[in-house]
């Protein structure tokens, strides 16, 4: 979801912050910043966690789950793990917070926009809480406000959201993805193409834009100049999109942005998950999995401040 996390980097004890309290509440004992790719630092992170008395690892990043599993395998097998993750099977003593995939939703919204349907400016999707006990059933769903609106749109426009159209009308939809190193735009690109393949009335044009912001802006401009009906984007950095918003409005080409953090404010519609809702789900999962006096080691990448704030607030509501 956020910036890349390949491994844990802990330069020194100064890289960790502590807010241990003596009131017996479930608490964050160590908050470890993750900003590098030095695999050898994983052992240092484990040492810091054990020194802090951590009973669980909470990860605010999909890629951080691999790091937490390495920590458990190498030095701390008793640690529980609560993590944001993409859909996958949880291991023992793991609770995964799995946000809904925004790419298929973005494609459905693009199809509606092709038919002239007005789109909501923001679609905050829900998530699933998955552990080994409920994995077979797909986890426990927590709907977001966007899910309710989407259900209403689907009922209202069922004739447009069909995989068996009765006419030969074909809509050209642009698709531009640009990675920032963590891979989610590339995964969104693949998922969007797969979702669009269900609709014979859609033709996808465009693809992955490699390079910096200038090349990304050029790829976006190329799709706009090609006069596609709708432009779907998945950009690690939404800034190039902001620079072309006026051009898209002039051409009357709606932009649907796939963005896990709902940051692309200049798009006509942005689809993703509310970071605060993800943080609250992390906190609730930690409270459910741990005793009230447990200490938590928090692995936090840059760019996840909203998730961390909501997570800490959820812990603060932990009953004595």
Please give the pLDDT value at position 242. Answer: 87
For residue 275, give every residue at least 6 positions away whose Cβ sits within 8 Å of its Cβ, in sequence order, or none: 261, 262, 304, 306, 307, 310
For all residues of the chain together, what is the average pLDDT?
A: 83
| Whether the predicted pLDDT of 42 surpasses 70 | no
- Give the count of beta carbons closer than 10 Å to the beta carbon of residue 93: 16
Please give the pLDDT value at position 190. Answer: 96
| Whether the predicted pLDDT of 110 surpasses 90 | yes
CA angle 174, 99, 303 (to 5 degrees): 80
What domains can be seen in the chain, in order of their start residue? Answer: 13-98+276-316 (3.90.190), 99-125+143-273 (3.40.50.2300)
| Whether the predicted pLDDT of 16 surpasses 70 | no
Confidence of residue 299 (pLDDT cuts 50, 70, 90): confident
Please give the pLDDT value at position 49. Answer: 64
Please give the pLDDT value at position 160. Answer: 95
Please give the pLDDT value at position 193. Answer: 97
Residue carrying the six token digits 């077979």: 136
pTM for the full predicted model? 0.84
| Whether the predicted pLDDT of 2 surpasses 70 | no
Distance CA 302, CA 292 (A): 28
Q: Which of 206 and 46 is assigned the larger pLDDT?
A: 206
| Whether the predicted pLDDT of 35 surpasses 90 | no
| Whether the predicted pLDDT of 93 surpasses 50 | yes
Answer for the pair 279, 28: CB distance below 8 angstroms, yes or no: no
Please give the pLDDT value at position 218. Answer: 95
Overall average pLDDT of the 54-68 stretch = 73
The residue ranges of DSSP E strands in the chain, in sequence order, are 16-17, 27-34, 56-59, 80-84, 94-99, 122-125, 127-131, 140-142, 171-178, 202-208, 230-235, 255-258, 269-273, 295-301
Give 141's strand partners. 128
The structure tokens listed for 320 are 């004595």
Residue 115: its H or E element: none
| Whether the predicted pLDDT of 38 surpasses 50 | no
Confidence of residue 6 (pLDDT cuts 50, 70, 90): very low
Please give the pLDDT value at position 3. Answer: 31
Helix %, strand %, coil % of the chain (to 5): 35, 25, 40
Overall average pLDDT of the 248-262 stretch = 92
Q: Which of 22 and 190 is assigned the larger pLDDT?
A: 190
| Whether the predicted pLDDT of 60 surpasses 90 | no
């Amino acid at each position: 979801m956020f910036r890349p996390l390949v491994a844990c980097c802990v330069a020194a004890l100064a890289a960790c912050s502590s807010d241990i309290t003596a009131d017996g509440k479930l608490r964050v004992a160590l908050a470890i910043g993750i900003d590098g790719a030095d695999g050898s630092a994983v052992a240092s992170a484990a040492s810091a966690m054990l020194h802090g008395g951590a009973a669980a690892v909470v990860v605010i990043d999909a890629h951080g789950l691999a790091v937490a599993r390495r920590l458990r395998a190498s030095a701390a097998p008793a640690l529980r793990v609560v993590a944001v993750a993409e859909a996958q099977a949880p291991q023992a003593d793991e609770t995964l917070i799995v946000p809904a995939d925004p790419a298929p939703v973005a494609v459905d919204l693009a199809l509606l926009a092709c038919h002239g349907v007005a789109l909501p400016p923001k679609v905050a999707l829900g998530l699933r809480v998955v552990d080994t006990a409920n994995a077979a059933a797909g986890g426990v769903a927590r709907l977001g406000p966007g899910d309710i609106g989407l259900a209403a749109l689907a009922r209202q426009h069922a004739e447009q959201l069909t995989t068996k159209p009765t006419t030969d009308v074909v809509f050209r939809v642009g698709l531009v993805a640009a990675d920032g190193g963590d891979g989610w735009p590339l995964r969104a690109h693949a998922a969007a193409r797969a979702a669009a393949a269900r609709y014979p009335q859609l033709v996808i044009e465009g693809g992955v834009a490699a390079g910096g912001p200038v090349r990304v802006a050029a790829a976006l401009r190329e799709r706009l100049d090609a006069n596609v009906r709708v432009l779907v984007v998945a950009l690690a950095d939404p800034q190039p999109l902001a620079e072309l918003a006026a051009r898209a409005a002039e051409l009357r080409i709606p932009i649907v942005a796939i963005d896990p953090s709902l940051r692309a404010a200049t798009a006509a519609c942005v689809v993703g998950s509310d970071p605060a809702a993800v943080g609250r789900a992390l906190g609730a999962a930690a409270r459910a999995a741990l005793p009230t006096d447990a200490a938590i080691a928090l692995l936090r990448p840059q760019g996840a401040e909203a998730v961390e704030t909501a997570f800490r607030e959820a812990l603060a509501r932990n009953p004595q």
